[in-house]
Amino acid sequence: MAQNEKLAELSAAGVAVWLDDLSRDRIRSGNLQSLVDESGVVGVTTNPTIFAAAIHGSESYDHQLHALAIREVSVEEALRTVTATDVRDACDLLRPVHERQPGDGRVSLEVAPGLAHETEATEAEAEHLWWLVDRPNLYIKIPATEAGLPAISDTIAKGISVNVTLIFSLERYRAVMDAYLSGLEKRVADGGSLEGIASVASFFVSRVDTEIDKRLDKAGADPSLKGKAGIANAQLAYQAYEEVFSSDRWRALEAKGAVPQRPLWASTGVKNPEYSDTMYISELIAPGTVNTMPEKTMNAYADHGEAGTPVQKSYDDAAAVMQAVADAGVDLDDVFRVLEDEGVQKFVDSWDELTESVRTELEAKK
């Protein structure tokens, strides 16, 4: 079946369409394969919230959980076995995509969010998950916390591909790009090959608007500023990406076989119903990017999405928006600090919920 025209145009413009969701039911029912065939999906992202929703109330996990219960494995081991199984199966399904276009056909699996502020533990779990899934088209998700940055470099240096998650500020994004380049440089210095190593940097969008809009309201600022900062912030991130990945430092690595760390637009489902349900896709179209979407958002763009101003032509306006927000009294440094803390905590809460669900299922199936 032919791919949806609007999503095909998005792909042709250089935007890789990824699905921000995964479940065993999606894989077994053929739904994920149909999204690959009909919507041009070329990647999948997951997080603890997604897995908590997938496992809750689904019978697809019963047989495996029963077997794990009989073996009396720990809750943590069961949780990792179950999630790794789904990710491995999704990697296998997307392997043909990966073989055609190595940057895509990827599936992400996140380190336990409770390790977000522990460098060595993050590195150790990243290596374990890479071994556990054992697929070349896997991404290990590591949060862009201060403790996460050295873990990203060391994980890349080991030849493990990384999806850096929870990026909100331009300052932290630049540090993430530096961590990627540093990891590649270390691997080269150690005599390793750069073949097969890839990375994406997940820059969150809608959550920025949610937090800044709230503060603009509190400050009594011009209402026309609302709903603009998330996109403007991401557009300026792409400007930073263009700068770093055209530098002499990058060219030296590229000559040794390195591939760019692509910007990935995350949190692209609109939170405010007053806003266009496709705005975080339409206004972030640029070559060499990834947009990971909830299925609802993907379907909305397939139905009525229209391309907005090219990102490369938006830099001046984007800078003006962010300056106007700051002039209105919004402390952007505090915004990004709060968003990172909340992002980590939300995933910790979802992880705890997921752990409890698995514990309950194991006990029920003994």
Structure tokens at 249: 């430092």
Output the CA angle 345-47-351, nearest 5 degrees: 50
Burial class of residue 217 (count of CB atoms within 10 Å of its CB; 0-12, 13-18, 19+): exposed
The radius of gyration computed from the CA coordinates of the chain, to the nearest angstrom, equals: 20
Give the active site residue among 6, 141, 226, 228.
141
Element (H, E) at 96: helix 75-100
- Is 141 a catalytic site residue? yes
Report whether 272 contacts 229 (CB < 8 A).
no
Report whether 213 contacts 227 (CB < 8 A).
yes
Structure tokens at 339: 């968003």
- Cα–Cα nearest to 82, from 62, 101, 53: 62
Per the DSSP assignment, residues forming a β-bridge with 293 are: 19
Structure tokens at 258: 């390195």
DSSP state string for 49-87: HHHHHHHTT-STTHHHHHHHHHTT--HHHHHHHHHHHHH
What separation, in Å, do the N-terminal and C-terminal C-alpha atoms of the chain show?
45
Question: What's the CA gap between 320 and 238, in Å, rounded?
Answer: 16
Q: What is the Cα 152 distance to its own chain's centre?
A: 14
Structure tokens at 27: 């894989």
Structure tokens at 110: 């996140």
Longest dimension (CA), the chain: 61
For the annotated catalytic residues, the residue numbers are 141
